Chains A and B, each alone.
Chain A
Amino acid sequence: MSGIRLENVFKAYGDATVVRDLSLTIPQGEFFTLLGPSGSGKTTTLSIIAGFTMADRGRVFINGRDATRAEPRERGLGMVFQNYAIFPHLNVFENVAFPLTVKKVPKVEIAKRVADALEMVKLTGFERRYARQLSGGQQQRVALARAIVAHPPIVLMDEPLGALDKNLRYHMQMEIKEISTRLGMTVVYVTHDQEEALTMSDRIAIMNGGVIAQMGPPREVYERPQSAFVAKFLGEADLIRVERQSGCLVGPGSLPVRAGEDNGSLQKGQLFLRPEKVTLCDPGTGEAGCTLRGKVHQVAFLGNVIRFEVELEDGTIILSDVANAAGIKNFPVGAAVDVTWLPEHARLLED
């Protein structure tokens, strides 16, 4: 089997458990993202895969081989570091050539492969420059070229775009994604930026406190979170406190609400909705079972979206993102409104 497999990996520093019995399988060719807040264990997990950190327990398989105790250099991985780790005493060519020169690849071959890698990251002509003569984006490209020059089947990336400004970031996301698809690489990508994770990944593992809170394709984890943590971490989330009374869920104002995939096992919990799935309408016009009452608390103009903050009767604030399209209805601050949604967009989460 190619790809990566972790089995019950555990790592603690003194009393602090950083990774708690983590198991996951990343098949060949997948773009896999470890997403989580700082201290969630994502970087440590990557470091264990890379071999810079040894797990206390558990096993690491790389391309089907047990690599738990292997040195980093024996693992044959490409890596892009958070700070790029470009050697300041070597120029761009020598930096990109480094993984090949240490493997004693013939000079002619090196020249060809470095040229190919630099062309792929659009840095042809920069061979003789040093890191300090490059912009942040160019340094990032050097780091990327160096990670792929030896054609490793697996490339690890530790917050590679963290230092770039927003526009460049988006641009580089697209480029990394394109290169990884073209070369058929398995990528393990670490980030704390949920937008980046959603844009680039085939699959995301959201980590919290050393465990995987949820794992799945971007759309699934975004639309069907299994916990309030995942719901909130992946973007704006509306969470409404609900209780079961004689078999039916009841929300603020004693109004009945329904949730998709509700099997009736939870007695109380939080009803989850994404703001873009929530619409506003005039009072009394919302459909029973997926409507709550409130009044507009604030209106924010975000350009392509208008964000309404609606205060429910119990004080809960609900966000409703409405696309700024032709003919949208405007609700002024203070107006009474019905907040409504489609039942299949609502999910019941444990507290």
Chain B
Amino acid sequence: MPLGPLAKWLLLAPAVALLLVLFLTPVGWFISASLMELGSWQDIWDEVAAVMGTGVIVRSIINTNGISLAVTLLTLVIGYPVAYAMTRARGLTFTLILVCVVLPYFTSTIVRTYAWMVILGRNGIINQLLLGMGLVDEPLQLMYNRLGVLIGMTYVLLPYMVLTLFATMKSVDGRLLQAAAGMGARPMTIFTRVFFPLTFHGVMAGSLIVYILAMGFFITPALMGGPDDLMMAMLIEREVELSHNWPVAAIMTIILLVITLSLYAVYTRFSDSSEERLA
């Protein structure tokens, strides 16, 4: 039964209310209260210009996007085969892969990040192993640098990519792949000409989710990164907690929001047209 407009709005109401109370109000309040400290519009504008002209902030914007992009690509490269294996696996194998993917998800990010520190540290498992086998003469710097940030964040965000891709791959009609084989296509051709195009909207969706989540990352880069890996969320926290500079934090929050929302807007346009094609 199609719903009338009133029923639709009523069903939507709880979600809208939740978003309003828990997200829009506090963020709006934070931003407006912070900016009000500055006084006039002219003062606010001057502050925005100053923020955008500050080297450390610009670098953190570039860092944040660079790290997010790298993490997105890494989760994609690692997650795509894993998701594919999940669609092929049956019974116990499937359950095992699923548990491996999802279980870390149930542990807090801090615990997982510390666990990685045990593995990657100067006296960590990997370095001991490499030294023990005589492959390196001194411990490798696997942490407190960009490498550490990428490893940590990729690990935390991998389930989002895998599960999104898995859902898409599961919906691909296996008979299309069989048909392609019957028409003379080799496995590689079937993948590039049929399977990958049919899962492409899943690749886009997974990448968007990972990218947006990565943009707001805070704990992992703080614990596993070096001084050059300052991300926007860390900087916002510093402005609030250490400098008590709320206006700057508010301006950076707006920048973060604008980037995220524009990405989302691009994606929605794209996915609308691609879904129409596949419907």
Contacts and interface: CB of A to CB of B under 8 A. Distances in A.
Task: Verify that A and B bind, or say they do not.
Answer: yes
Interface stretch (A79-87, A207-215, A259-267, A342-350): A79-87
A52 B183 contact: no
Contacts of B175: 81, 83, 85
A41 interface: no
A102 B277 contact: no
Nearest to A98: B183
Given A83-B175, A85-B176, A88-B278, A52 B198 contact: no
A85 B278 CA distance: 13
B178 interface: yes
A273 to B, nearest CB: 43
Contacts of A72: 178, 181-182
How many chain A residues sit at the interface, stated as a range, is: 20 to 34
Contacts of B180: 87, 98, 102
A150 B184 CA distance: 10
A51 B181 CA distance: 10
Interface string B165-202: 00000000101101111111110010001100110000
Interface of B: 173, 175-176, 178-186, 189, 193-194, 197-198, 277-279
Contacts of B185: 73, 98, 102
24 contacts: A51-B182, A52-B178, A52-B182, A72-B178, A73-B183, A73-B184, A73-B185, A73-B186, A76-B184, A79-B179, A79-B183, A81-B175, A85-B173, A85-B175, A85-B178, A88-B198, A88-B278, A98-B180, A99-B183, A99-B184, A102-B180, A102-B183, A102-B184, A146-B183
Given A89-B198, A89-B277, A73 B181 contact: yes
A132 interface: yes
A87 B194 contact: yes
The 8 closest A-B pairs by CB, nearest first: A85-B179, A99-B183, A102-B185, A73-B184, A89-B197, A72-B181, A72-B182, A79-B182
A4 B263 CA distance: 56
A102 B182 contact: no
A77 B198 CA distance: 25
Contacts of A233: none
Nearest to B194: A87
Contacts of A102: 180, 183-186, 189, 193
B182 A87 contact: no
B277 A130 contact: yes
Given A72-B178, A85-B175, A99-B183, 6 more contacts: A72-B181, A85-B173, A87-B194, A89-B198, A102-B183, A146-B183
A112 interface: no
A166 interface: no
A interface SS class: loop
A81 B179 contact: yes
A50 B182 contact: yes
Contacts of A85: 173, 175-176, 178-179
Contacts of A130: 277
Contacts of A101: 193
Given A102-B189, A102-B193, A87 B176 contact: yes
Nearest to B178: A52
B162 to A, nearest CB: 23
Contacts of A182: none
A194 B277 CA distance: 37
Contacts of B179: 79, 81, 85
A103 interface: yes
Contacts of A132: 277, 279
B170 to A, nearest CB: 16
B149 to A, nearest CB: 36
Contacts of A146: 183
Nearest to A76: B184
A71 B181 contact: yes
A196 B181 CA distance: 28
Interface string A39-80: 000000000001110000000000000000001110011010
Contacts of B193: 98, 101-102
B182 A77 contact: yes
Nearest to A75: B182
A53 to B, nearest CB: 10
Contacts of A73: 181-186
A45 to B, nearest CB: 15
Nearest to A132: B279
A343 to B, nearest CB: 50
Interface in A93-134: 98-99, 101-103, 130, 132
